[in-house]
Amino acid sequence: MIIIRMCRQAIVSASLILLPATLLFAETPANMGPKTIQFKMGTKTIVFTHQKHQKLAKNNCWECHDKKSGKIPNWGEATAHKLCIPCHDLNEKGPVQCKECHKK
């Protein structure tokens, strides 16, 4: 009996810890981040229309941010390509060819 109760208590307190994080993302976060972001690679720059993409994703931040908004972990070539290209491919909209993103 006592063991069962303790387990229950552990589950309840665990969900209490998890709850605020879920709630935080159920509503639109206070910090929407920059309107546009410039990704620099050597002499080339990609202008990423962050705000426009938020609308394209219907404000589902987690299309790109994993549970938490803000910096994306391990940001770089591999992470970016995995995030950016498949969605353009699927929607048949947005750049998928190297030159369309890496131009200037």
Residue ranges that bind ligand HEC, judged by CB under 6 A: 28-29, 31-33, 37, 39, 41-42, 46, 48-50, 52-54, 56-57, 59, 61, 63-65, 69-72, 75-77, 80-81, 83-85, 87-88, 91, 93-98, 100-102
Strand partners, 37: 48
The least distance separating ligand HEC from the CB of residue 19, rounded to whole angstroms, comes to 19
CA distance 34 to 36: 5
CA distance 69 to 38: 18
The least distance separating ligand HEC from the CB of residue 23, rounded to whole angstroms, comes to 14
- Nearer to ligand HEC (CB atom), residue 26 or residue 69: 69
DSSP for 29-78, written as a single string: PS----SSEEEEETTEEEEE-HHHHHHHTTT-GGGTSSSS-SSPTT-SHH
The least distance separating ligand HEC from the CB of residue 40, rounded to whole angstroms, comes to 7
- Nearer to ligand HEC (CB atom), residue 9 or residue 89: 89
